[in-house]
Structure 1
Amino acid sequence: MLTVRLSAPGPDDLRSLDDWLRGEERLRGRIRLVPAPPRPGELGTADEELLVTLADAAQNAALAETVEIWLRHRGTDVTLQVRIGDRPPVTLVGDGTLDVAVLLKAAVEAAGG
């Protein structure tokens, strides 16, 4: 099992992504909207993030495909932070320059998934 954390600068973007991910059959029951952990030196945060628990390659592919489509649909003004395990976050931008599937696959492999 591998947990992917997704966060966006605005709650509307994150809730939009939550809707898209919950519409993907292969990810059903694997998505939770939770409070984001506090940053170093902070006691708490009002921010939220999506936790997606992946159990196999099909779910990894479903996450990558859905995130990539969502980013392209939202346009160049949206960014998304992706954190796998305790690895540093990676920023994705909806400008079409990244292949999200390749990026997520490499991140999952790097995390030992």
Structure 2
Amino acid sequence: MNTLLKVLGDESGDALRELRVWLSEEPGLRGRMRLVEREPDEGALGPIPEVLQVLIGTGGIATTVTAVVAWLQTRRGEIAVKISRGDVTAELSVKGVKNADATTVGDLSRHVVKLMESAETADEST
């Protein structure tokens, strides 16, 4: 199923590229990502990254969410990642995970995974 990741905050295009590199280290995600870009603004050089499209099957969402949380824990500033799957969207932020203990991070990750899996279940029933 198609999962979209969008980085929110300053320098979101560069951060999205960095997230892509981070996620490509996960064996289950390698080769399953595509950076969707828009045309550059007038006078700008090169396309602007908009969203990272990740094609994953059952179980892959857990790998994706866990890796996104780990990436956010390494960031500074006001950065968030919006994860969308079908009609379901969740937003994770540096502020929400940076200083959280392992139990809190695990609970949050499991909650987001369960939420994203509900989109998969809804898609299969239609």
CA distance in 2, matches of 1:64, 1:108: 11
**1:28 is the counterpart of 2:41:** no
* Identity rate, percent: 27
CA distance in 1, matches of 2:110, 2:68: 9
How many aligned positions are there? 102
Task: Say if 2:49 is the partner of 1:71.
Answer: no
Normalising by structure 1, what TM-score? 0.76
The structure number with the bigger radius of gyration is 2
How far 1:32 moved relative to its partner?
0.7
Q: What's 1:14 paired with?
A: 16
Q: Which residues of structure 2 form unaligned runs of 5+?
A: 39-47
- Kindly tell me: are residues 101 and 33 of structure 1, through their superposed partners in 2, closer, same or farther at Cα, counting changes over 3 Å? farther
The yes-or-no answer on 1:107 pairing with 2:116 is yes
Q: Secondary structure at the match of 1:11?
A: helix
Alignment-mate amino acid for residue 119 of structure 2: A
TM-score when normalising by structure 2: 0.69
Aligned residue type for 1:6:
L
